[in-house]
């Protein structure tokens, strides 16, 4: 099997089985999700949504709830929730001020451009995905302390205690958890030199206790941020990584910083959309797609009809071609962000689009933008009773990250290094290709697709949303924005809708299988679109909140997982 095919099958299998699990083909129906008057958390697990909501019941704000929810997910959703990974938060304060926090992982100081290639410049299979060399310097603990110090209102111990209790007392395993553990069992064994707790004989309904994770969280509660970036927890992590042949050192931990960044905001009709800027491609790529389709009267086409899919796919194709070429960590490379979302540039990019037939990706390259030289994931959405909104996507990258599980400290480490372009043109776990802009360099952040997003209508809070799904995050979030703002769907209807995806390369439209209308699919095929709907692929897992016209909150929890909305 060629490396490309191998990567592609890893991508498909990972998307279909890594905890998203098989999507029971729910037909969309007019229905509303959970409704609340004042506050809500929608996340991948009911335990985490409940913990975040309880914090707000105790008087905490959305940022307090963020800290509690993030840590709860690290316990009961080890598939993606983490303290050994990283993420992004986009927020909107009640007065309309917006901002974002980047707690993305970084390449270790000893990392170098060709570290995943052998002497013949061939990619070493799995080196960027499995085991100690796949691990980027984790950002999550730095992230929650930044959030807490800037915006937290309750004592930190109050925010972390529910996660400690959850780890100590245990949580009940679902069918999805068990399938996902079984699916990854072999890799857990390959990546570790001992038996990790998720490799035990477990069945749905069992209570899984994680005492080592509980003790780690207690140490963080008592000693603070430095416990992770230099204390016993950091030491346990580094000792294990070094034993397994990893390159991370104490200097990497000491130098790590979460960074407050300007999010990207663009307009679409009466709406203002704010999402993550570099090192995530999410906001830029979504902005490119939305601004490319804005001139078209999209409401003329039914949702998921042939013309609707065609228009969005063609905009996606062009945006992802730009992503592959231009985007990387803006602290290291010069990215022409404003030009890329400029409406005239995008009009010109769409000028060779024809309704008559598919544009071939081979005929689409990155756009002509002059660069002036000067130089497996989870999303949760929160709105608090004060009107603050928080949108967070956090990840270990693949399911359970590198599968490296720190002994005595009880947590998984990410395999985020695979989000770099490890060799120009070589697809990553999500089939994405990249170029020099996203090459590995010491201390650089790897390009992400994570798109925690906030939508305003005429300046007022409208939606908080985001998704996991690697490259499909951007297109999943985008389709949900369109479902609500163009087609007036409820949040739950929107989340339930079938989704499709195109990312320039490979040149195919991925459809969630057996849920699209046959006529639209055959019309697309006739126009030359290659359709892929064979596997039980699911695209994204969107957890969102809609502020309804009457001011109440509606949760959209994705039925593709065990996701849940809790509010009051
Ligand atoms: O940052 C990124 O874009 C990826 N590491 C996200 C991974 C992801 O969504 C995993 N879930 N399927």
Active site residues: 377
Of the given ranges (26-40, 105-119, 469-483), which has the lowest mean pLDDT?
26-40
Decide whether any atom of ligand 1 lies within 6 Å of the 470 Cβ.
yes
- Name the residue of 280, 392, 397 whose CB sits within 8 Å of the most ligand 1 atoms, as the mutation to test its pocket: 397
Alpha carbon distance 292, 2 (integer Å): 35
Q: Which atom of ligand 1 is nearest to the CA of 376?
A: 10
Three-state SS string over 348-361 comes to HHHHHCCCCCCCCH
Nearest C-alpha to atom 6 of ligand 1 is from which residue?
A: 470
What residues contact residue 290 under an 8 Å CB cut-off, 6+ apart? 266, 268, 273, 478, 481
pLDDT tens for each residue of 474-515: 999 999 999 999 999 999 999 999 999 999 988 999 999 988
Whether 479 is in the pocket of ligand 1, judged by its Cβ within 6 Å, is: no
197 Cα to the center of ligand 1, angstroms: 24
- Asked if residue 537 has pLDDT above 90, the reply is no
Pocket test for ligand 1, best of 398, 430, 543, 561 (most atoms within 8 A of CB): 430
Neighbours of 347 (CB within 10 A): 13
CA distances from 197 to 207, 234, 267 (A): 12, 20, 47
The total of other beta-carbon atoms located within 10 Å of residue 109's CB is 15
Give the nearest ligand 1 atom to 418 CA: 5
Other C-beta atoms within 10 Å of 247: how many? 18
pLDDT at position 364, please?
A: 83
What residue ranges in 159-243 does DSSP mark as E strands?
A: 171-172, 207-208
353 CA → ligand 1 middle, Å: 29
Angle 289-487-505 (CA atoms, 0-180°, nearest 5)? 30
In short, whether 397's Cβ falls inside 6 Å of ligand 1 is yes
pLDDT at 7 over 80: no
pLDDT of amino acid 536? 62
- The predicted model gives 150-177 an average pLDDT of 98
Is the minimum distance from the CB of 469 to ligand 1 under 6 angstroms? Answer: yes
Assess contact for 525 and 503: CB atoms under 8 A: no
Q: What residue's CA is closest to ligand 1, atom 2? A: 448
- DSSP characters for 33-81? --EESS-EEEES-HHHHHHHHHHHHTT--HHHHHHHHHHHHHHH-TTT-
Cβ–ligand 1 distance for 395 under 6 Å, the answer yes
Q: Which of 449, 474, 541, 560 to mutate to test the pocket of ligand 1 (most atoms within 8 A of CB)?
A: 449
Q: Which of the four pLDDT bands, split at 50, 70 and 90, describes residue 362?
A: confident
Residue nearest to atom 10 of ligand 1 (CA): 376
* CB of residue 129 inside a 6 A radius of ligand 1: no
Share of the chain above pLDDT 70, in %: 93
DSSP alpha helix (H) spans, 298-352: 306-326, 337-340, 343-349
Compute the distance from residue 22 Cα to the ligand 1 centre, in Å: 18
Q: How far apart are CA 281 and CA 279, in angstroms?
A: 6
Residue 426 structure tokens: 């070589």
Give residue 363's pLDDT. Answer: 83
Mean pLDDT of 518-523: 94
CA-closest candidate to residue 566, choices 4, 21, 33: 33
Q: Which pLDDT value is given to residue 369? A: 63
Q: Which atom of ligand 1 is nearest to the CA of 104?
A: 1
Res 116 pLDDT > 70: yes
Position 428 scores a pLDDT of 83
Which atom of ligand 1 lies at the shortest distance from residue 20's CA?
12
419 Cβ below 6 A of ligand 1: yes
Whether the CB-CB separation of 72 and 166 falls below 8 Å is answered with yes
pLDDT, residue 360, reads 87
Q: Is 102 in the pocket of ligand 1 (CB under 6 A)?
A: no
pLDDT of residue 3: 39
Q: For residue 414, give both structure tokens.
A: 């990410």
Q: Model confidence over 43-84: pLDDT tens digits? A: 999 999 999 999 999 999 999 999 999 999 999 999 999 999
What distances in angstroms separate CA 211 from CA 169, 404, 408, one per listed residue? 8, 18, 9
Q: Give me the count of residues in the chain.
A: 568
> For residue range 14-36, what is the model confidence (pLDDT) as tens digits?
433 333 333 333 444 469 999 99
What average pLDDT does range 145-157 have in this prediction? 98
Indicate whether residue 450 lines ligand 1 (CB < 6 A): yes
Q: Which of 21, 450, 499, 539 is the best mutation target for the ligand 1 pocket, counting ligand atoms within 8 Å of the beta carbon and taking the most?
A: 450
- Give the residue among 448, 473, 468, 450 at the shortest CA–CA distance from 106: 448
CB 23 within 8 A of CB 560: yes
Whether 448 is in the pocket of ligand 1, judged by its Cβ within 6 Å, is: yes
């Amino acid at each position: 099997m060629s490396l490309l095919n191998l990567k592609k099958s890893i991508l498909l299998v990972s998307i279909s089985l890594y905890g998203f699990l098989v999507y029971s083909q729910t037909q969309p129906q007019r229905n509303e999700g959970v409704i609340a008057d004042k506050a809500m958390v929608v996340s991948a697990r009911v335990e985490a949504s409940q913990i975040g909501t309880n914090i707000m019941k105790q008087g905490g704000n959305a940022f307090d709830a963020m800290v509690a929810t993030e840590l709860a997910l690290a316990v009961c959703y080890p598939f993606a929730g983490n303290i050994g990974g990283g993420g992004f938060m986009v927020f909107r304060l009640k007065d309309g001020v917006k901002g974002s926090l980047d707690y993305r992982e970084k390449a270790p100081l000893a990392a170098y451009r060709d570290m995943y290639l052998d002497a013949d410049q061939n990619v070493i299979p799995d080196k960027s995905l499995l085991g100690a060399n796949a691990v980027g310097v984790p950002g999550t603990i730095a992230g929650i302390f930044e959030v807490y110090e800037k915006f937290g209102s309750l004592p930190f111990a109050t925010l972390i205690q529910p996660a400690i209790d959850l780890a100590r007392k245990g949580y009940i395993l679902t069918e999805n958890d068990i399938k996902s553990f079984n699916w990854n069992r072999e890799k857990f064994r390959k990546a570790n030199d001992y038996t990790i707790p998720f490799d035990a004989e477990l069945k749905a309904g069992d209570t899984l206790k994680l005492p080592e994770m509980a003790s780690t969280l207690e140490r963080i509660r008592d000693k603070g941020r430095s416990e992770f970036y230099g204390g016993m927890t950091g030491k346990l992590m580094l000792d294990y990584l070094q034993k397994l042949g990893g390159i991370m050192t104490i200097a990497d931990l000491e130098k790590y910083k979460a960074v407050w960044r300007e999010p990207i905001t663009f307009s679409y009709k009466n709406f203002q959309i704010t999402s993550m800027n570099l090192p995530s491609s999410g906001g830029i790529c979504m902005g490119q797609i939305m601004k490319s389709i804005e001139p078209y009267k999209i409401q003329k086409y039914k949702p998921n009809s042939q013309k609707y899919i065609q228009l969005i796919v063609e905009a996606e194709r062009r945006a992802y071609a730009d992503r592959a070429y231009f985007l990387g960590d803006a602290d290291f490379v010069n990215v022409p962000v404003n030009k890329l979302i400029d409406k005239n540039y995008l009009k010109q990019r769409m000028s060779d689009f024809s309704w008559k037939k598919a544009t071939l990706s081979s005929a689409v390259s990155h756009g002509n933008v002059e660069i002036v030289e000067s130089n497996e994931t989870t999303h949760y959405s929160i709105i608090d009773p004060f009107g603050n909104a928080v949108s967070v996507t956090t990840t270990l990258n693949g399911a359970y990250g590198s599968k490296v599980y720190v002994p005595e400290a009880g947590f998984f480490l990410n395999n985020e290094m695979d989000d770099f372009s490890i060799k120009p043109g070589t697809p990553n776990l999500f089939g994405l290709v990249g170029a020099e802009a996203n090459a590995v360099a010491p201390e650089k952040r790897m390009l992400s697709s994570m798109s925690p997003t906030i939508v305003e209508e005429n300046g007022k809070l409208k939606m908080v949303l985001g998704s996991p799904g690697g490259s499909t995050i951007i297109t999943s979030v985008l389709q949900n924005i369109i479902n609500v703002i163009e087609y007036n769907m409820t949040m739950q209807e929107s989340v339930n809708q079938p989704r499709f995806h195109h990312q320039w390369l490979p040149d195919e439209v991925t459809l969630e299988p057996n849920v699209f209308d046959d006529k639209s699919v055959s019309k697309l095929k006739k126009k030359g679109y290659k359709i892929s709907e064979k596997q039980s692929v699911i695209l994204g897992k969107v957890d969102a909140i809609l502020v309804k016209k009457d001011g109440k909150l509606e949760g959209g929890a994705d039925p593709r997982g065990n996701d849940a909305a809790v509010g009051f």
